[in-house]
Amino acid sequence: MVYSIVETAKANNLNVFMYLVHLLSQLPGVDFKADPSLLADFMPWSEKLPDYCRKVK
């Protein structure tokens, strides 16, 4: 599962380490069981990801 997350992050031109830091620090506080649509903001292709998750062009 982690390999899939890493490879998807790479394919979406993200800084993999910072993306994982973001996921592991933010997801525990999200009540996605009550509202699964909240997970969309954490997908590697989401435009709502913070800038520090993106690679500098």
The model carries a pTM of 0.89
How far is the C-alpha of 57 from the C-alpha of 48, rounded, in Å? 18
> Which 3 state secondary structure label does DSSP give 54?
strand
Instruction: Say what the pLDDT of residue 53 is.
Output: 97
Examine the pLDDT at 33 and tell me if it is beyond 80.
Answer: yes
Cβ atoms of residues 13 and 55 within 8 Å: yes
Mean pLDDT computed over every residue of the chain? 95
Share of the chain above pLDDT 90, in %: 95
Domain limits, the chain: 2-47
Residue 57: pLDDT over 90: no
- The sign of the dihedral angle between the CA atoms of 24, 16, 32, 47 is positive
